[in-house]
Amino acid sequence: MTLKKRIIPCLDIQNGRTVKGVNFVGIRDAGDPIELARKYADQGADELVFLDITATIEKRKTLVDLVEKVAQEINIPFTVGGGIHSVEDAGAVIKAGADKVSINSSAVKRPELITEIAERYGSQCVVLAIDTKFNESNWKVYVKGGREETPLETTFWAKIGESLGAGEILLTSMNNDGTKDGFALDITDQVAKNVNIPVIASGGAGSKKHFEDLFLNTEANAGLAASIFHYGEIPVPELKAYLKEQNIAIRYESGF
Amino acid sequence: MIVIIKYNAGNIKSVENAVRRLGYDCVVTDDSEQIRKAEKVIFPGVGEASSAMKYLTEKDLDKLIISLNQPVLGICLGQQLMCKYSEEGNTSCLGIFDVDVKKFPPEDKVPHMGWNEITGLKSPLFNEIKESSDVYFVHSYYCETSKETVAECNYIRPFAAAMEKNNFYACQFHPEKSAGIGELILKNFLEL
């Protein structure tokens, strides 16, 4: 019996639609999030992540409404992120039915937020999302959708996040995101080896082999991707069947 | 009527959604009369043991739950609270199952989060469920195995993934988040 490696489709949400950017810029439409979510759940995705990329105050209600609909429709766990700045923001999406919230820039700005949400709702529902970029000699943490560099070193910040109460790390390599050249194996493994909470790798998935490389060469617990799933390049069942053939611990039932 | 016990724990909405998806009507309440009269009772939960027990005791729900005669299903923290004692917050629990709840040692990543296999299935909850099916877990504390164990899982060590005693059923995993297999387990409970 082994804990399975998770495959997580990510839906970037803008004004209630699924969108996808390349290297954090250049947005294109990828469909209705509820339809996509239901499709992925039916196909055997292990979990889903929804990131609201234009979370403004007037749009929050739209997001909460969407979370409620998703929670009614799908029978697998899902995380919601984007624009969560307070315990109240987290509470609104958790009460609407989200299993976890992910926080990113707001946690860098005010690290106590991690502890506050963990104490109120439990560590298991706090995902610390880290956008990272290799900068000359170091993997640095970036905030504000990748637009702003911080002095934080990535593995250090992941460890701080764990000690403050994060239950999981979602690590996105900006160097790899959108390239379809594969995950950033070095930093992913470095972070995964240095924390005792699960790590989700994100950014760069372009082939089934990239997921195999991720699970064979790093201690990541999950691989996240967006466009390869949205545009049908790699259907989730095909990816999982492939990984199972490579003897990677994966949840797979025939008949998806 | 299916009743879901309302208390200061998270994740109640997902259980309600899952029951409704299966076509059953349900109410979420802490009203003792409604709970007592229910056809089936679900005791869900994600949260912290000592604060949850404190809340149940203040509302007299602790005595009510142990006195129920209809089928009761504890989920996740619900299962742990049905045990004798939990290391989480050094908490005396309901004592339905003669089992202690312990924290996973940090020999692997904690919480145990994700899909894992259940084996040794022996309960009507698992009708038509295959051995080694994957279900979704999220927990840092585990229930020790005992003669009341009706499904096992192994993460860091073997633990009780499900338990049964008389009219009391419990599972550590989240059937409401375990895709089609979870739906079938919930349906099996609702059809008991």
Say which CATH number the domain at A168 has: 3.20.20.70
- Residue A58 has a pLDDT of 60
β-strand pairing of A148-153 with A100-103: unpaired
b/e B80-93 (16+ beta carbons within 10 angstroms → b)? bbbbbbbebeebeb
Query: Among A46, A124, A224, A253, which would you mutate to test the B interface (most chain B Cβ atoms within 10 Å of its Cβ)?
Result: A124
Mean pLDDT of A85-97: 92
Does B83 participate in catalysis according to the annotation? no
Whether residue A53 is predicted with pLDDT greater than 70 in this model: the reply is yes
Which of B88, B148, B164, B176 is flagged as catalytic?
B176
Single out the catalytic residue among B88, B112, B143, B174: B174
Asked if pLDDT for residue A186 goes beyond 70, the answer is: yes
Report yes or no: A6 at the B interface, CB cutoff 8 Å.
yes
Q: Which helix (H) or strand (E) holds A108?
A: helix A105-109
pLDDT, tens digit (0-9, with 9 covering 90-100), for A10-21: 998 887 788 875
Residue A39 host element (H or E): helix A33-43
Alpha helices (H) in B22-160, listed in sequence order: 32-37, 49-58, 61-67, 77-81
pLDDT of A256 strictly over 50: no
Of B117, B174, B178, the CB nearest to A1: B117
Topology annotation, domain B2-190? Rossmann fold (3.40.50)
Q: Are B83 and B99 in contact (CB under 8 A)?
A: yes
Residue to substitute from B4, B50, B113, B119, interface A, most A β-carbons within 10 A? B113
Task: For residues B153 and B119, give the distance between their C-alpha atoms in angstroms, rounded to a whole number.
Answer: 7
Tokens of B16: 């309600």
Task: List residues in chain B touching A: CB distance below 8 A.
Answer: 10-11, 13-14, 17-18, 20-21, 46-48, 106, 108-117, 119, 132, 134, 136, 138-140, 153-155, 174, 176-180, 182-183
Residues of chain A with Cβ-Cβ distance to B132 below 8 Å are 1
Classify residue A151: in a domain, yes or no. Answer: yes
Would you say residue B177 has pLDDT above 50? yes
- For B146, phi then psi, to 5°, come to -160, -175
A203 domain-assigned: yes
Q: Residue A217 phi/psi, 5° resolution?
A: -105, -5
In angstroms, rounded to a whole number, what is the distance separating the alpha carbons of residues A150 and B108? 31
Residue A56 or A219, more confident? A219
pLDDT band with cut points at 50, 70 and 90 for residue B103 = very high
How many residues are listed for chain B in this entry?
192
Threshold 0.90, pTM exceeds: yes
Q: How many other C-beta atoms lie within 10 A of the C-beta of residue A244? A: 14
Q: How many domains does chain A have?
A: 1
* Catalytically annotated residue among A46, A52, A131, A189: A131
Question: Is A4 part of the contact surface with chain B (CB cutoff 8 Å)?
Answer: yes
User: Chain A residues with CB inside 8 Å of B77's CB?
Assistant: none
- Domain hosting A121: range is 6-245
In this prediction, residue B135 has a pLDDT band, given cuts at 50, 70 and 90, of very high
What separation in angstroms does the CA of A88 have from each of A79, A123, B57, B144? Answer: 16, 16, 27, 36
Q: What is the ipTM of this complex?
A: 0.92
Mean pLDDT of A39-46: 95
- The pLDDT, as a whole number, for residue B92 is 97
Q: Strand pairing of A78-81 and A48-52? A: parallel
Q: Which amino acid is at A244?
A: K
Domain extent listing, chain B: 2-190
B134 has a pLDDT exceeding 50: yes
Residue A58 maps to a domain: yes
Q: Which pLDDT band holds residue A255 (cuts at 50, 70, 90)? A: very low
Nearest CA in chain A to B10: A121
Residues 191-250, chain A, touching B (beta carbon < 8 A): 195-198, 221-222
Contacts of A102 (CB under 8 A, 6+ apart): A49, A51, A79, A80, A81, A82, A84, A127, A128, A129, A170
Q: Does the pLDDT value for residue A60 go beyond 80? A: no
Q: In the prediction, which pLDDT does B188 show?
A: 98
| Position with higher pLDDT, B108 vs B8 | B108
Q: Which two tokens stand for residue A20?
A: 């996808």
CA distance B169 to chain A (A): 21
